[in-house]
Amino acid sequence: MAGPIASETVLLKACDCLTPFGGSVETLTALLSGERALQTQPVLGREGGDLVPLALLPGRALDETAPPSWLAQVRALLAPVNEAGWGTARRPVFVTSSNFGAGSLYAYRRSGDAAHMGYGALVNCVGWLRQQLGWQENVTIFSHACVSAHLGLLQASRVLQAGLADEALVFSFDFLSPFVSGGFNALKILNADFPAPYQARATGSIGLGDGAGYAVLSRTSGDFAIVAQSMYNEMHHFTANQPNGAGFEACLAPLASQAAGRRLWLKGHGTGTLDAGRMESGAFAKVFAGAPLVGWKGSLGHTLGSCGLVELALALAAIRHGRTPGTIGSAAPTFTAEVAIDAFANDRYDGVVCASNAFGGAHAALLLSHA
Amino acid sequence: MTDPLITRLKHLIVDTLHLDGVTPDDIDENAPLIGSGLALDSIDALELVVKIEKEFGIKIGSSEESRQALASVASLADFIRVRAKK
């Protein structure tokens, strides 16, 4: 059964992201130049291990510190929108992440330093962040693996559409730790190779990246709109998708009717794994035949639960700039002809579908367009 | 004559994955390990890979290599022999 769709348009008043390149404008510039943020480094930080592709914020080590080393950069990211009043009844905050302070829990177990515990659990971490950023109590936390940010956007949209709020701040953050990179390395999908999203090659690989992003959603103000959203869960398997790719299609299909008449480009999830990449690109080609498909995790790595917001901010920046970065790190042959390796002008398009997928068979997608 | 590596791997699988009611002799060395009669899934595969890397001092480089190695007990034994020589 297809997931819920936000039936009314929600306006995007502000949106930005944080990657190793900087904000959305700096990141877009780097992507358009074909730069790769991923660099091979030890998967377990100071404890060594295999060399794997990771993209960390400048000056940030993989190992945890107390307080977390990313706070200053998060504060700077949110500064343009972090005026008083967030977290009140009419201006709720939705915080999403797939990790929160999981790395701090790991650090505590390794070091015994109790200072890590203040950030080591979901509620503690967000409570601390709320105090640091001056938000009031109306803060809701969501975590749903790598569609976490999409879930936050959808729930915030519902609150706005129900008239329960005037504006909503959706904020997502995922900063890497040895706990996270070590887990993906154990699964063998984070290995020595750089990711090549949607490329038909012998072995798959992903990269992981630090990332955070925010969106201010509004009922009345904004030049861009999230026209429709879809979420779907296959209920098939924890780490595998239905082999026929039906889950990807089921999530995208409801957006097709909302997008009717629009010329679209597509920003896929595209981590670099083979099975999911083949199924995802196949579903896109079926539902949105002929629309160019790009993925940016070949440069930025997978920013996990925050990828939905990070890549939404980049898609928005790409529309404003008039050029869409290509699928960095990939080369022909690709799974479908629609995969765009190179950057292209997007001024003849009037919408973009942004999709993310997650462990547990979860899929999410949204349609972004001018208001 | 029974291949001692095959026997060792069957014991390792039963012990590592705590397969209740399954003995090493129950495992067909040529049958698919994942998604067959043993009802192993990808999490079991992960546990096996970690155990095999540690036990035999070898490295499995990617998920595709892991899938190939874990096709059956016999293929796993072949994989270990080849890697152990390197």
pLDDT digits (tens, 9 = 90+) for A292-302: 999 999 999 99
Which residue is associated with the tokens 């070949």? A298
Q: How confident is the prediction for chain A on average, in pLDDT?
A: 94
Window from A94-103, A155-164, A300-309 with minimum mean pLDDT: A94-103
> Can you name the CATH fold of B4-19+32-85?
1.10.1200
Cβ neighbours around A3 below 10 Å, total? 17
Residue B22's SS3 state is coil
| pLDDT, tens digit (0-9, with 9 covering 90-100), for A306-323 | 999 999 999 999 999 999
Q: Kindly list the domain boundaries of chain A, sorted by start residue.
A: 11-218, 224-370
A239: chain B residues, CB-CB within 8 Å: 42-43
Phi and psi at A244, nearest 5°, equal -90, 5
Range list of H helices, chain B: 4-16, 42-56, 63-69, 73-85
B48: chain A residues, CB-CB within 8 Å: none
Task: Decide if B31 touches A, using CB distance below 8 A.
Answer: no
Q: Kindly list the domain boundaries of chain B, sorted by start residue.
A: 4-19+32-85
B44: chain A residues, CB-CB within 8 Å: none
Task: Decide if B39 touches A, using CB distance below 8 A.
Answer: no
Query: Which residues of A sit within 8 Å Cβ distance of B?
Result: 186-189, 191-193, 202-205, 237-240, 273-274
Phi and psi at A4, nearest 5°, equal -70, 150
pLDDT at A253: 93
Cβ <8 Å between B63 and A239: no
CA A29 → CA A103, A116, A160, A323, A334, distances in Å?
31, 36, 33, 10, 24
pLDDT at B6: 96
Q: Give me the CATH code for the A224-370 domain, please.
A: 3.40.47.10
pLDDT at A7: 67
Q: How confident is the prediction for chain B on average, in pLDDT?
A: 89
| pLDDT, tens digit (0-9, with 9 covering 90-100), for A175-206 | 999 999 999 998 899 999 999 999 999 999 99
CATH 3.40.47.10, applies to A11-218? yes
pLDDT at A9: 87
Q: What percent of chain A has pLDDT over 90?
A: 86
Q: Is 0.90 surpassed by the pTM of this model?
A: yes
Of residues A136, A174, A138, the one with CA closest to residue A304: A174
